[in-house]
Amino acid sequence: MNAAKRLEIFRRLHEDNPDPKTELSYSSPFELLIAVILSAQATDVSVNKATARLYPVANTPQAIYDLGVDGLSSYIKTIGLYNSKAKNVIETCRMLLELHGGEVPQTREALEALPGVGRKTANVVLNTAFRQLAMAVDTHIFRVSNRTGIAPGKNVIEVENKLMKFVPKDYLLDAHHWLILHGRYVCVARKPRCGSCRIEDLCEYKAKTSDD
């Protein structure tokens, strides 16, 4: 895919949604961090239901740490893998209190040192909470990047690096949200909704399938 096509793709995505947001509910970097940890192998909807119960009771590292694993588990038991997630969140809260003065760190290295925080989670927090240029590649973004031809790659790191290189700079800060929403609602896994897609004429998946 050439640069002109990529530019037009993101111009249209921006035109349709000038101020894209994550679908996770949060009101602070800490709330976002915990929500993203909980969202692994779970839907944003299920996480939002759990945090709607949790955050009015405890939404700081100290408050959640004080709940303990069992106390936290009672709020998040509707989410998959809640036992291991509760342990990770409690340990993360302890580390935030002891190492970071209760604040969420703003570097990938410090974030990835927290339990339950991998590269993708760190990138979400850096980009969404702190508005840093970072690209969190989840299953939706991986699929859209490969299927459309925007940034094809064999693994998430390759796709991340290509997106950081190829997405036009004016659109890079919000590209994560546009791509994830596109993958979630339009370019879905089994039957992509090509007929209602704003970038159908620019997409290399359509070009390939029409040639077959």
Domain total in the chain: 2
Q: Which of 129, 151, 181 marks a domain boundary? A: 129
Q: Is 49 a catalytic residue?
A: no
Question: Which one from 85, 138, 174, 206 is the annotated catalytic residue?
Answer: 138
- In the predicted model, what is the mean pLDDT of residues 36-46? 93
List, for residues 83-125, the tens digit of each pLDDT value. Answer: 999 999 999 999 999 999 999 999 999 999 999 999 999 999 9
pLDDT, tens digit (0-9, with 9 covering 90-100), for 43-82: 999 999 999 999 999 999 999 999 999 999 999 999 988 9
At residue 208, the pLDDT reads 58
Question: Given 99, 129, 159, which residue is the final one in a domain?
Answer: 129
- Are 110 and 150 part of one and the same domain? no
Domain boundary among 129, 160, 189: 129
Residues 115 and 149 in one domain: no
What pLDDT score does 207 carry? Answer: 55
Quick one: pLDDT at residue 41?
87
* 122 lies in the same domain as 176: no
**Do 33 and 119 have their domain in common?**
yes
Q: Write out the residue range of the structural domain in which residue 160 sits.
A: 3-20+134-211
CATH of the domain at 111: 1.10.340.30
**39 shares its domain with 65:** yes
**Exposure class string for 1-28: b at 16+ Cβ within 10 A, else e:** eeeebbeebbeebbeeeeebebebebee
User: From the candidates 85, 120, 174, 206, which is the catalytic residue?
Assistant: 120
pLDDT bucket at 1, cuts 50 / 70 / 90: confident
Any idea of the CA torsion for 20, 26, 29, 34, to the nearest 10 degrees? -120
Does 199 lie in the same domain as 117? Answer: no
pLDDT at 58: 97
| CATH code of 166's domain | 1.10.1670.10
- pLDDT, residue 212, reads 42
Does the annotation count 165 as an active-site position?
A: no
Do 144 and 195 lie in one domain? The reply is: yes
pLDDT category of residue 211 using cuts at 50, 70 and 90: very low
Same domain, residue pair 73 and 150: no
Whole-model pTM: value is 0.89
| 155-208 confidence digits (pLDDT tens) | 999 999 999 999 999 999 999 999 999 999 999 999 999 999 999 999 998 655
